[in-house]
């Protein structure tokens, strides 16, 4: 990673704002999951809350991508950070007033944040390629990813302690403040001004621009390959990480919330190491090759974890510590590999997609990938009371292997990407 990037004011502010916001959000997500699981005790309801948050992304994702290319991007993501902070603080007041958040209130809160996020993500995704040279994209993405993974390592432990000691109100208060601090930091980022677009924004225009994003993906085989890989993997791994793993350890093996938080912090250390490893690996192999090898290993690790958790090896572990150590080893390596793959995918996407259509393409991209998450989460949540969790781990591994097979076939037979016609870029 190139630490000299921190000398650039805009990149430094982006790093600071992203880290603070990411920490607050991850702490709250973890604590809210523990709260729902603790108050309902149901795998299905637990999955419903997580999956319901994806629905707004599917509905508003196309609009978010189009608006990112039409409105001033900086104004958009700064304003939305402040709005997210206000919404979070309002619900924290509701919690402290009533002494609890009802199940339907949690659903409403999660869905509001995801509506905001549907517009925020396409706008913020354009910052790095706007302020960093193409030759520095891998280093910049590795740096941002490393800090994001550090937040993922720290947040479960912090969330477990805060939730167990002070309750959900404190966690929500911290997240609301983190949104405000992030927005304040992002106000000083210097980005190239966009060409003013006075075309009225209509439903017809939104659908036309959404189709432009679809056409770009269809005509660019590498982007299409990344999309299909993301759909397969997101379908399985969103359910594996957010549903199967916490349900298995907390509900089936009785692991406490604080101990589970420490467990997740330790296994997520792999995600801190991953981006640096990806930057080094990229000097010896192409990004496509790294994705193929890395995702193949992820599939193998999940199949191995399934075998370990199956009745065949149930005699190996007779305690919480035994199952935590065993699963922790597999998840640690999986997290490391996923972090490497994420850096490569982000860099590949930013190198291929022109900045002027990145919002529209990114909106379509994220919408289609996110569509697979609630399906997988609801499926796993509904089946948890009927099947042993080891079957879910095997399914995640198989999906990863299928996804990487499709990716390999598309990228190994690709021809030179066809040029995008002028109307697409307008």
Q: Are the beta carbons of 149 and 92 closer than 8 angstroms?
A: no
pLDDT at 77 (0 to 100): 85
Residue 399: pLDDT over 80: yes
**177-193: pLDDT as tens digits:** 988 988 888 888 887 76
Q: Are the beta carbons of 210 and 65 closer than 8 angstroms?
A: yes
**CA-based nearest residue to 92, from 166, 176, 188, 3:** 176
Cα–Cα distance measured from residue 402 to residue 245, given in angstroms and rounded to the nearest whole number: 22
Percent helix, strand, coil in the chain, to 5, is 85, 0, 15
* pLDDT band for position 52 (cuts 50, 70, 90): low
Q: Are the beta carbons of 228 and 406 closer than 8 angstroms?
A: yes
* pLDDT band for position 423 (cuts 50, 70, 90): very low
Q: Which two tokens stand for residue 358?
A: 């990145």
* pLDDT band for position 422 (cuts 50, 70, 90): very low
pLDDT at 37 (0 to 100): 73
Q: Thinking of the domain 9-186+205-412, which architecture would CATH place it in?
A: Up-down Bundle (1.20)
- Which of the residue ranges 90-99, 199-208, 311-320, 408-417 has the most confident prediction, judged by mean pLDDT? 90-99
How large is the average pLDDT for residues 403-408? 90
Q: Are the beta carbons of 19 and 147 closer than 8 angstroms?
A: yes
Q: Are the beta carbons of 115 and 53 closer than 8 angstroms?
A: no
Alpha carbon distances (Å) from 318 to 342, 391, 394? 36, 20, 22
- Per-domain residue ranges for the chain? 9-186+205-412
Residue 288: pLDDT over 90: no
For the ranges 112-126, 128-142, 208-222, 403-417, which has the lowest average pLDDT? 403-417
Cα–Cα distance measured from residue 297 to residue 329, given in angstroms and rounded to the nearest whole number: 14
Convert 89-108 to b/e letters by CB count within 10 Å (16 or more is b). bebbebbeeeeebeeeebbe
pLDDT at 266 (0 to 100): 79
How large is the average pLDDT for residues 376-402? 80
* pLDDT band for position 51 (cuts 50, 70, 90): low
H/E element, 426: none
């Amino acid at each position: 990673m190139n630490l000299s990037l921190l000398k650039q004011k805009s990149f430094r502010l982006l790093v600071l704002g992203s880290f603070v916001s990411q920490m607050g959000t991850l702490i709250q997500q973890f604590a809210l999951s523990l709260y729902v699981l603790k108050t309902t005790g149901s795998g299905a309801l637990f999955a419903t809350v997580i999956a319901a948050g994806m629905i707004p992304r599917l509905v508003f994702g196309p609009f978010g991508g189009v608006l990112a290319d039409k409105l001033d991007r900086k104004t958009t993501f700064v304003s939305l950070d402040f709005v997210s902070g206000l919404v979070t603080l309002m619900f924290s007041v509701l919690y402290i007033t009533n002494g609890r958040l009802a199940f339907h209130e949690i659903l409403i809160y999660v869905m509001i944040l995801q509506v905001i996020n549907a517009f925020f993500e396409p706008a913020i995704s354009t910052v790095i390629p706007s302020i960093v040279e193409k030759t520095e994209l891998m280093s910049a993405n590795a740096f941002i990813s490393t800090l994001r993974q550090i937040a993922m390592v720290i947040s479960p432990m912090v969330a477990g302690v805060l939730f167990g000691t002070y309750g959900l109100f404190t966690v929500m208060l911290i997240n609301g403040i983190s949104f405000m601090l992030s927005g304040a930091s992002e106000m000083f980022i210097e980005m190239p001004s966009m060409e003013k677009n006075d075309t009225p924004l209509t439903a017809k225009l939104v659908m036309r621009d959404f189709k432009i994003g679809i056409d770009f993906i269809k005509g660019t085989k590498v982007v299409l390959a990344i999309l299909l890989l993301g759909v397969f993997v997101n379908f399985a791994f969103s359910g594996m990480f957010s549903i199967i793993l916490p349900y298995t350890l907390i509900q089936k093996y009785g692991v406490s919330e604080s101990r589970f938080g420490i467990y997740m912090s330790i296994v997520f250390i792999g995600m801190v190491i991953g981006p640096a490893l990806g930057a080094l690996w990229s000097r010896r192999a192409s990004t496509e090759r790294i994705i193929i090898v890395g995702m193949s290993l992820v599939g193998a690790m999940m199949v191995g974890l399934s075998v370990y958790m199956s009745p065949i090896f149930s005699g190996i572990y007779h305690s919480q510590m035994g199952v935590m150590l065993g699963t922790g080893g597999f998840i640690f390596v999986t997290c490391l590999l996923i972090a490497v793959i994420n850096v490569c995918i982000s860099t590949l996407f930013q190198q291929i997609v022109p900045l002027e259509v990145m919002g529209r393409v990114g909106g379509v991209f994220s919408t289609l990938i996110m569509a697979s998450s609630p399906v997988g989460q609801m499926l796993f949540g509904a089946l948890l009371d009927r099947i042993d969790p080891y079957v879910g781990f095997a399914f995640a591994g198989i999906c990863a292997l299928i996804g990487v097979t499709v990716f390999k076939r598309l990228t190994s037979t690709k021809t030179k990407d066809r040029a995008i016609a002028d109307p697409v870029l307008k």
